[in-house]
Amino acid sequence: MTKRLGGVLRFAVVLVSTFLGLMAVTFFIGRVVPVDPVLAVLGDRAPASAYARVRAEMGLDLPLWQQFWMYLKQVLSGDLGTSVLTTHPVAEDIARVFPATLELATFGTIVGTLIGVPLGVLAAVKRGSLSDQLVRLVGLAGYSIPIFWLALLGLLLFYAKLRWVAFPGRIDIVYEYSFTPITGLFLLDAILQRQWDVAWDVFRHIVLPGCLLGYFSMAYISRMTRSFMLNELGQEYIIAARAKGLSERRIIWAHALRNAAVPLVTVIALSYAGLLEGSVLTETVFSWPGLGSYITNSLQNADMNAVLGGTLVIGAVFIALNLLSDLLYRTLDPRTRDK
């Protein structure tokens, strides 16, 4: 009981300290970036009196530690400031655009996992063979080729030439005003409402950017799956299972992969977090109205409240997924529960 309580306390301390560190980093980034938030509000031709008044209202004339304290209280109360670009609260803007990024990253992670895990298992079982070399080559290409180049090439081939996918965006304008989202995840909402024509249209919009993100996720997952499987296939319990006469398929999928799945959960969670924070270029190329596009547009218009708010949310999601993967790891592997 004492060990369990100590583990909970350590977990709480790590969570709080990590989040405070994230807020400190975002705060100081906002202060060192060569963008004047006052001029972003008033414009370059604002009189000196108006500049001084707005600067005082924003608390920028206070010592740095006081500014950080104000920022800390503001964030903890759920107030991320007001966007200069949209004139709406940043929290409302993020709540509006984040489901699009969540849907795209989830689609990519599912594709990457469903393809990456079997490929990694195949490469490990056929170590040194042509199949192994091809899987490693495909994974290496996923790490090396810029995603914006693949995105443009994909649009040229699958949209402009073959017409297999829809125009960049999230949904056709025909359905944009007649479709009522529930969760903000358009594909799920269309299926729940049994609007199959909308679901097909949404799928045609998400399939190309989602598969591109899935390809990069697959490259990472397949490589790590191969590594974990090679480690498991060299263990003594695999030799014992073969000596007992178990089929190779059962040994690989029911024993080796089952044990490799424990660290693989962490890998998939980190891949998911990486897609959530790293889909900026994909969203830009495909005009996907997600958090990445929102931050990019805000940065181009010197809207630092929106930039810092979006950065803070992405960091918080990354922290949450890291902690979730750690909890799942401890749950799946009893040997780590008392550590």
Percentage of the chain modeled with pLDDT above 90: 27
Shared-domain flag, residues 193 and 107:
yes
For residue 82, is it within any domain? no
Per-residue confidence band for 190, with pLDDT thresholds at 50, 70 and 90: very high
Instruction: Give the per-residue pLDDT at 25.
Output: 81
pLDDT over threshold 90, residue 236: no
Shared-domain flag, residues 318 and 286:
yes
For residue 70, is it within any domain? yes
For residue 185, is it within any domain? yes
CA 83 to chain centroid: 23
Cα separation of 215 and 139, whole Å?
9
Shared-domain flag, residues 272 and 198:
yes
Burial of 86 (0-12, 13-18, 19+ CB in 10 A): middle
Residue 89, helix vs strand vs coil: strand
For residue 91, is it within any domain? no
CATH assignment of the domain containing 139: 1.10.3720.10
Q: Which of 61-65, 178-182, 232-236, 273-277 has the lowest mean pLDDT?
A: 61-65
> What residues have CB less than 8 Å from 1, skipping those under 6 apart?
none
pLDDT over threshold 90, residue 38: no
Shared-domain flag, residues 125 and 50:
no
Per-residue confidence band for 7, with pLDDT thresholds at 50, 70 and 90: low
Read off the pLDDT of residues 248-279 as tens digits, 9 standing for 90 and up.
888 888 888 888 888 898 889 888 988 887 77
Cα separation of 173 and 210, whole Å?
20
Q: Which of 169, 175, 111 has the alpha carbon at shortest distance from 290?
A: 169
Per-residue confidence band for 186, with pLDDT thresholds at 50, 70 and 90: very high
When pLDDT is averaged across residues 48-63 and rounded to a whole number, the result is: 76
Residue 260, helix vs strand vs coil: helix
In the chain, the number of structural domains is 2
Residue 34 DSSP one-character state: S
Cα separation of 156 and 151, whole Å?
9
Do 130 and 114 contact (CB within 8 A), yes or no?
Answer: no
Top mean-pLDDT range of 221-225, 279-283, 284-288:
221-225
Percentage of the chain modeled with pLDDT above 70: 92
When pLDDT is averaged across residues 233-254 and rounded to a whole number, the result is: 86
Residue 82, helix vs strand vs coil: strand
Shared-domain flag, residues 53 and 143:
no
Shared-domain flag, residues 69 and 120:
no
For residue 85, is it within any domain? no
pLDDT over threshold 80, residue 11: no
The whole-chain average pLDDT of the chain stands at: 84
Shared-domain flag, residues 60 and 106:
no
Instruction: Give the per-residue pLDDT at 218.
Output: 93
Q: Which of 101, 214, 222 has the alpha carbon at shortest distance from 154?
A: 214
For residue 187, is it within any domain? yes
Shared-domain flag, residues 183 and 298:
yes
Shared-domain flag, residues 50 and 174:
no
Read off the pLDDT of residues 73-130 as tens digits, 9 standing for 90 and up.
888 888 888 887 788 888 899 999 999 999 999 999 999 999 999 999 999 999 889 9
CA 50 to chain centroid: 41
Instruction: Give the per-residue pLDDT at 5.
Output: 65
Shared-domain flag, residues 19 and 146:
no
For residue 191, is it within any domain? yes
Instruction: Give the per-residue pLDDT at 301.
Output: 78
Q: Which range of residues forms the domain containing residue 160?
A: 98-336
pLDDT over threshold 60, residue 337: no
When pLDDT is averaged across residues 286-305 and rounded to a whole number, the result is: 84
Virtual CA dihedral for 62, 67, 69, 73, nearest 10 degrees?
A: 120
Instruction: Give the per-residue pLDDT at 336.
Output: 58
Shared-domain flag, residues 214 and 163:
yes
> Domain ends where: 41, 76, 111?
76
Instruction: Give the per-residue pLDDT at 319.
Output: 81
> Domain ends where: 12, 41, 76?
76
Shared-domain flag, residues 65 and 212:
no
Please provide the DSSP assignment of 102-148 as one string. HHHHHHHHHHHHHHHHHHHHHHHHTTTSHHHHHHHHHHHHHHHS-HH
Q: Which of 6-10, 171-175, 232-236 has the lowest mean pLDDT?
A: 6-10
Q: How long is the chain?
A: 339
For residue 17, is it within any domain? yes
> Domain ends where: 31, 46, 76?
76
